[in-house]
Amino acid sequence: MGAHHNMAHDYEYLRHTLDAMAHRVQNALHESLQALRRSDAIGASRIIRDDPDINALQRDVEDLVARFITQWQPMLRDLRRVLAMLAVAGELERIGDYAKQMAGQVRRARDANLPLLMTSELLELGALTEHIFSASIAAFLAEDVVAARSVAALDDQIDARRHAIIAALRQATLNDGSLFDAAIASIEITRALERVADRATNIAERTIYLATAAHESLNE
C-alpha cells in the first residue's frame, strides 16, 4: 500500500465525516421546521438534546484535519481543501445552533400556550433556507462553482421575505398588543433562518474561492 493511497484514504475519510456532520445539521434544521409546523414541544426538545452530537462531529473534523496536515504536509491545493473543510465544519456547527434556537422558540411558545404567528410564511422561508443550505453543501462537496454562484444569488430572496414577514408582524402587533410575545417568537425564528442562509452563503462563497484559487494555482 503506497503512501499516496493512504493520503487519499485519509482525505476521503475526512470528507465522509464532514458529509455526515452536514447530514446531521440538515436533519436538525428540517426537524426544527417540522416542530414549528406541528407546534411540537417534544420534537423541539429532541433537537435541543441532540445538539451536542453535532458539536462532537465538529471536533472530529478538527482532529482529522490536524492529523491530515501533520501526517501528509499536503501541497497548497490539498491544504486549501482541508482548511476549507475545517471552516465549513465551523459554519455547520453554527447552523446546528440556529436549528436549536428555533426549536427553543417553538418549545417556549408551546409551553406558554402562545400560537405562533404567520407560521405558513415562516415555513415557506424555512423551505427556501433548507434549499439554500442543501445546495451550498452539495456545491462545496462537488467543488461546483456554477452551483455555488446560484446559491449565493438566492440570499437576497431570504432577506426580502424576512423583511416582509417582520413588516406584517409589526402591523399585527400595532393592531393588537396582546400578540406582541407571539410576534417576538416569530421574529426570532426569521432571524435564525436568515442566519442559516448567511452561513450557507459563506459555504457557497468558500466553494467559489476554493475552486477558482485551486484552478488558478494550476497555471502558476
Dihedral, 118, 124, 129, 130 alpha carbons, nearest 10: 120
- Residue 213 — very low, low, confident or very high, per pLDDT cuts 50/70/90? confident
Q: Give CA–CA dist 139/141, Å, rounded.
A: 6
Q: Determine the pLDDT at residue 153.
A: 86
Q: Which residue has the cell 436568515?
A: 194
**What is this structure's pTM?**
0.94
Identify the pLDDT of residue 158.
Answer: 95
Q: Which residues contact 201 (CB under 8 A, 6 or more apart)?
A: 132, 136, 151, 152, 155
Query: CB neighbours of 49 closer than 8 A, spacing ≥ 6?
Result: none
Helix/strand/coil for 74: coil
Q: What is the mean pLDDT of residues 186-199?
A: 97
Give the whole-angstrom CA distance, residue 107 versus residue 101. Answer: 10
| pLDDT surpasses 80 at 3 | no
Give dist(CA 48, CA 40) in Å, integer: 13
Quote the pLDDT of residue 216.
62
Say if CB 207 and CB 144 are below 8 A apart: yes
Domain ranges of the chain: 3-217
pLDDT(29) > 90? yes
- Amino acid 214: pLDDT: 67
| pLDDT (tens digit per residue) in 34-85 | 999 999 999 999 999 999 999 999 999 999 999 999 999 999 999 999 999 9
Question: For 190, how many CA atoms within 13 A lie in the half-sphere containing its CB?
Answer: 27
Q: What's the confidence (pLDDT) of residue 177?
A: 94
Residue 219's pLDDT is what? 45
* Residue 22: HSE in the Cβ half-sphere, 13 Å Cα cutoff: 23
Average of pLDDT values for 170-191? 96
Q: What is the CATH class of 3-217?
A: mainly alpha
C-alpha cell at 43: 420534537
Residue 212: pLDDT band (50, 70, 90) is confident
Residue 198 has pLDDT above 70, yes or no: yes
Average pLDDT of the chain? 94
Contact 169, 183 (CB under 8 A): yes
The Cβ of residue 66 has, within 10 Å, a number of other Cβ atoms equal to 12
Predicted pLDDT of residue 220: 43
Answer whether residue 180 shows pLDDT above 80.
yes
